[in-house]
A and B are shown apart, each in its own frame.
Chain A
């Protein structure tokens, strides 16, 4: 058996031999990778590959069956509280509290991250203006459109100026203007030294934003390379993805009745 490489202490995210087993099925099966600080990291995989389970373990929402996780040099779950203080999350939109308005939610999250209430309110105003949501002050989050929910989730992830972002499909349901705005903000954060851990099914977005990509399939890592290496070949990221996850091309006339 090949011994997995040791954890890289300088990494923003370092995962070693991570496993998560549900019953007899391994959702994540011996994952080992690291994400350097200041990297825009794309974490891809087909549906059911283990992406969400991995990101849940990174967020501390799921306990690994075995293996090690280090975020920003701190160990999860031993240093969970210190890690949570320094990460920004854009998970699926269930994390939002439907019966708060956007400004109330942002202020609330800011205060949970230890910001002074006045400072949290000030940042809330600035973030709402930045995300072009300042006209929706009185609306409950339950009444928001999907794109608006993503914007407010992204604003909440930024309010405490974290060093590491865990982004689960952040552009899903967001219009082109909103998506562009969000991408610009994220790229700016990376330029200032922050690290992005992004999952997305939109490979064009990943290709344009990320400087390193990993592909997971059946709980195992099948590719972990800098984007520059992947681009140097003749294949597009989509072609590489379909090839490594074993997608079978279907004939357009496979369903005769259609």
Chain B
């Protein structure tokens, strides 16, 4: 007998996943596979180092009185990293593709166990740190062997919480506009510590926090840290067990709900609402400026992008995330007149351009998937198609500039009309070059993208590596403009060099687009095959 039916199903799922991955890697570009393996090796080597450090710390290198607060802080970091880092990186790791598995006779409990186990993929780094700490505690002559158990329980607690959060987020992300609001709230949460660091904590909040510190024993990291240093306190045991039980209930109930949701999503959707008159006028605006087929193509592009949840989310992030990066630097004491403060809008927009490039410039046929073959069977030239896509991209970049400018006007940073002109000029040069490179990348490295999935990269890994190489090259002519300003102390010199840069960028756009069109004619079969290909994943997906 091959074993119990449940285990046999589990093995079958893992086997199918292994085969799917193997088949994918056998057909994938070898250099890409090598690079991803290499980067993975470097990253996890770093965390093996961190795990070894944790082992050293808990093996008796420090006194128990020092070890306990260090362990509590370390466990809090583990919790924070395990739960929040995947959200920040827009990654949900590996997960079961429940829609494909639900039709088979697999007990939901088994699916849940597998789903929870897959949460290790988002916290593998933390698992290494926890394992290191456990090894140290085993070696430590002053801590009994059972001290490993609270840490393992803390690991299980994190697995359950991670599973529950992932399921809740996934469900919320399916609702229109909810994902955008969630991201906005999340960004607010991220900016909060930085604002606190700059402006301090208001006194009433400090008073409340002090009360909370007195209650710190209720937190699982405190209980696990206390037990982990050999203090057998039944209060801590109860706290940790209660948290783990609650986390299990949370994960289990959310998973059960997600299974029911799959049934609901199969039901007919509500009658769609007619589009608003203003939105329709916005879509039809290109026809006032351009003739068909360019206007028709731009109109289609506007409709498709605005309706893609993924695009809306990235656009929102592009408009706001730059502030997270630059605001704390720009607002700190003594920063007035510094490089960041005087170039705040330019830096914010450069960051926005980077964020938007992935979805708007580098893989322009990605959202269309198989429908991109229309550009080879309809009587419209690929030059017109690329022009329409590039014009719409330019429009959204300008819209983003308008939003970021409005945000900057509200913020307490210095802002002048000259700075706006500078930002516009720098953005134009950068965008022209990136659009040119994006046209080439879209032809050479196309990738089918699901516009409804908000949490995945829009361009292929190869494109992203290619872009990493391209960015330093693109920044050279722009740097020359800043060098000219510094050397001559003249705005005229700065804008003169930028004008030359723009001419170079325009020439580059012309050549790159011509090359992309020629390459598309040669590579059209490969492009269409890649864009039409369905997901190459097995019963387990990853993002």
Which residues of A are at the interface with B, using a C-beta cutoff of 8 A? 56, 59-63, 81-82, 84-85, 89, 91-92, 94-100, 104, 107-109, 111-114, 117, 137-140, 143
Q: Are B304 and A97 in contact (CB under 8 A)?
A: yes
B451 touches A62 (CB 8 A): no
Taking chain B's interface residues, is the majority helix, strand, or loop, or is none over half, making it mixed?
helix
How would residues 209 to 242 of chain B score, 1 for a CB under 8 Å from any chain A CB and 0 otherwise?
Answer: 0000000000000000000000000000000000
The listed residue (A94, A104, A113, A139) touching B532 by CB distance below 8 A is: A94
B379 touching A112, Cβ below 8 Å: yes
**B256 CB to nearest A CB, Å:** 27
Chain A residues with CB under 8 Å of B274's CB are 137-138
Pairwise interchain contact A108-B272, C-beta atoms closer than 8 A? no
The residue from B287, B304, B307, B522 contacting A117, defined by CB atoms under 8 A apart:
B287
The contact of A59 among B307, B377, B381, by CB within 8 Å, is B377
8 Å CB contact of A85 from B374, B379, B381: B379
How far is it, in angstroms, between the C-alpha of A89 and the C-alpha of B373 when the chains are bound?
12
Q: Known contacts A94-B370, A117-B287: does B303 contact A99 (CB below 8 Å)?
A: yes
| A111 CB to nearest chain B CB (Å) | 4
* CB-contact partner of A97 in B273, B300, B380, under 8 A: B300
Q: Are A61 and B371 in contact, with the CB atoms below 8 A? A: no
Q: What 1/0 flags go to B277-304 for Cβ under 8 Å of A?
A: 0000000000100001101110110011
Considering the complex of A and B, which 10 residue pairs feature the smallest CB-CB distances, nearest first? A94-B370, A111-B296, A138-B272, A84-B379, A85-B379, A99-B304, A111-B292, A99-B307, A112-B378, A97-B371
Known: A60-B377, A84-B377. A140 touches B307 (CB 8 A): yes
Query: Any chain A CB within 8 A of the CB of B252?
Result: no
The smallest beta-carbon distance between A128 and chain B, in angstroms, is: 15
Given contacts A100-B303, A108-B296, A138-B275, contact A95 B373 (CB under 8 A): yes
**Given the complex of chains A and B, what is the CA–CA distance between A91 and B274 in angstroms?**
29
Asked if A61 and B367 sit within 8 Å, CB to CB, the answer is no
| Residue of B whose beta carbon sits closest to that of A97 | B371
Residues of chain B with a CB closer than 8 A to A108's CB: 296, 299-300
Whole-angstrom CA separation of A137 from B275 in the bound complex: 10
Cβ B275 vs Cβ A63 within 8 A? no
Is B528 part of the binding interface, using a Cβ–Cβ cutoff of 8 Å? Answer: yes
Please give, as numbers and ranges, the residues of chain A lying within 8 Å of B307 by CB-CB distance. Answer: 99, 140
B391 in the interface, Cβ–Cβ < 8 Å? no
- B324 → A minimal CB distance (Å): 30
Contact partners of B287 in chain A: CB under 8 A: 117
Number of B residues near A (Cβ < 8 Å) is 37
Which residue on chain A has the smallest CB distance to residue B273? Answer: A138
6 pairs, CB–CB < 8 Å, chain A vs chain B: A59-B376, A91-B377, A100-B300, A138-B273, A139-B272, A140-B272
* Distance in angstroms between the alpha carbons of A91 and B370 in the assembled complex: 11
- Closest Cβ of chain A to B311, distance in Å, is 10
A95-B377 contact in complex given A112-B293, A140-B307, C-beta closer than 8 Å: yes
Closest to A58 in B: B377
Q: Which residues of A contact B451 (CB under 8 A)?
A: 98-99
The reply to whether A100 and B304 contact each other, CB–CB distance below 8 Å, is yes
List B contacts of A95 (CB < 8 A): 370-371, 373-374, 377
User: When the two chains form their complex, are residues B381 and A96 in contact, meaning their CB atoms are under 8 A apart?
Assistant: no
Q: Is the CB of A94 within 8 A of B371?
A: yes
B537 adjacent to chain A (CB < 8 Å): no
CB–CB A113/B373 < 8 A: no
Q: How far is the CB of A29 from chain B (nearest CB, A)?
A: 18
Taking CB atoms and an 8 Å cut-off, the chain B residues in 287-335 that contact chain A are 287, 292-293, 295-297, 299-300, 303-304, 307-308
Complex: A109 Cα to B295 Cα, angstroms = 12
**Least Cβ–Cβ distance between B388 and chain A, in angstroms:** 11
Kindly provide the distance from the CB of B21 to the nearest chain A CB, expressed in whole angstroms: 24
Q: A109-B378, A117-B287 are in contact. List 4 more A-B contacts (CB 8 A).
A: A59-B377, A95-B373, A112-B374, A139-B272
What is the bound-complex CA distance between A137 and B271, given in angstroms?
11
Q: CB of B119 within 8 A of chain A?
A: no
A20, chain B: closest CB distance, angstroms: 10
Interface flag for B269 (CB, 8 Å): yes
Determine if B303 and A104 form an interchain contact, defined as CB atoms under 8 angstroms apart.
yes
A160's nearest neighbour on chain B, judged by CB, is B379
Let me know if B525 is at the binding interface, CB within 8 A.
Answer: yes
> Out of B273, B275, B377, B522, which one reaches A89, CB within 8 Å?
B377
